[in-house]
Every structure is written in structure tokens, then in C-alpha cells.
Amino acid sequence: MLPLDSAWLPWIEGMVINTGLLALAWLAPKKLLTPAGYGHAWALGVLLWGCLGWPGYALMMIYFLVGSAVTKVGMARKQAAGIAEGRSGMRGPENVWGSALAGTLCALAIWGLNTWAGPSPGVWIAALGLGYVASLSTKLSDTTASEVGKAYGRRTFLMTTLKPVPAGTEGAVSLEGTLAGVLGSAVMAIAGWGVGLIALWGIPICLVAALIATSAESVIGATVQGQWPWLTNEVVNIINTTLGALVAMGLGLVWVGLG
């Protein structure tokens, strides 16, 4: 167990660093978050720095910056077709937690194990680290596939019926979007390995988990999302990222044994 003074240090660091970075973002002429979104992003950043230190924080920043950039891809086309993200891609609180709730729960569990579980929780910490990275790999895969598919997908169809549908239809997929999604998940998985959150063998696991989870999300979008009012895009994102994390953790524990 950590002494009280050292246990608090990462949380204080997270408050200071996150406040400074978000103050700069607030003053920047191009806003990436709504006013409420900045407040929720601050809370998220402090939680991640306190639980995982700079690697967990850095990985979330990479997701946020790349995801925001991808949202701008083909913006003129998407706006002309009426399928662009609202608020010109600015993220609000619902977007922050829709993307990051699953990863945040993994981070909190890691912090809890490191703080209270004693000397040997290594297997579960490794599994939860894999889950954290996989949740962000899944979300960037989803974002990239959706935005590229809406802008450049030549043929979009429902995964459940293979019926052609207009770009932007819930549950629609395209070859261009799918390939872009695989690239997006690879970016996050490699970044997760680069900052030391997962081992090298975790990269393909994150890619497989992201593909399974985003495919399941497409099925949800094509079948029940429009029928249940409570099943908003943000709720589907939470389901998607949670599934990606769980699949990766399961694959890591069962197939690889996590060392």
C-alpha cells in the first residue's frame, strides 16, 4: 500500500497539468469541446492521471486529438449531405463519457488493485491495462470508420441484410470505412504499446477486439437502435467500448495468459 503523501501526489499532478492544458485549449480560437465538455474532460483527465499516470493520460489525449481530426475529414461533403456531426464536431459531456467510460472504469480498477490488493495483482492489472487500450482502440476504430465511410464510402450497406443504404444510416458499413477503422484501431494499439500500457502481443488482440466490437455495434445500429429511444449514440458507444475492453481482456487471459 502506498504511503498517504505519495498516494496523493499523482492526483495533484493531474489537477495541475490538466488545468494548464485545458486552459490553453479554452483560449485557443478553434474549440474542440463545448463549455460543459471542458469541465467533464478536466474530471476525466484528473482521474486518468491519478490512476494511470502520464501513459494513460497521454493515450486518451492521442485518441481525443486524432478522433477530433478524423471528424473533420470530408466535412464539406458530410455537411452537404446532412450527415456531419453536430456542433461542427465539438464534443460535449455525453461524448466524453460515451467514449471514455469503459476505459475510466479499467483505470479505476487498476488504481484500486495497485493501492489495496497487496503485492501480486499483476495478472489482473495487465488484463485491465489491455482493456483500457482496447476500449480506446475500439472507439477510434468506430469514429474513423464512421467518418471516413460517410465522406468517402462508395457503397454502404447494412451488415445484417447486405442491403444498400445511404451513407450515414445507422448500422451502415462500407469497405472504405472498415479499412479506415482497422487503421484507427492500429494507431491506438501501437500508441498503447509505445507508452508502455500493453505488451507487443497486445496490439493484435486490440485489433481483433475492436473489429468484433465495432461489428457488433453495426448490428445494433441496423436492428434495435432506432426502435428503443433510450439507445442513443452515446449509450451505444458505451456498449461498444465496453465490449471491446472485455473481449481484449478475455483474449489476453485465455489465449496468451498475460505472461
DSSP string, 80-139: HHT-SPGGGG-B-HHHHHHHHHHHHHHHHHHHHHHHHS-S--HHHHHHHHHHHHHHHHHH
The answer to whether the beta carbons of residues 160 and 141 sit under 8 Å apart is: no
Tens-level pLDDT at each residue, the chain (259 residues): 445 457 788 899 999 999 999 899 888 877 778 889 899 999 999 999 999 999 999 999 999 999 888 887 766 565 555 555 555 557 788 989 999 999 999 999 999 998 887 665 778 999 999 999 999 999 999 999 988 888 777 788 887 787 888 776 777 788 888 999 999 999 999 999 999 999 999 999 999 999 999 999 988 888 888 788 888 889 999 999 999 999 999 999 887 665 5
CA atoms within a 13 Å half-sphere pointing along the CA-CB vector of 135:
29
Query: Taking Cα atoms as reference points, which of 121, 115, 113, 132 lies closest to residue 196?
Result: 132
* Euclidean distance between CA atoms 174 and 146, whole angstroms: 9
Q: What is the pLDDT of residue 101?
A: 96
Q: Check residue 87 and give left, alpha or beta (phi > 0: left; psi -120 to 50: alpha).
A: left
Q: What is the pLDDT of residue 196?
A: 96
The answer to whether the beta carbons of residues 126 and 252 sit under 8 Å apart is: yes
* Euclidean distance between CA atoms 174 and 153, whole angstroms: 6
Helix (H) or strand (E) holding 172, with range, is: strand 172-173
pTM listed for this prediction? 0.89
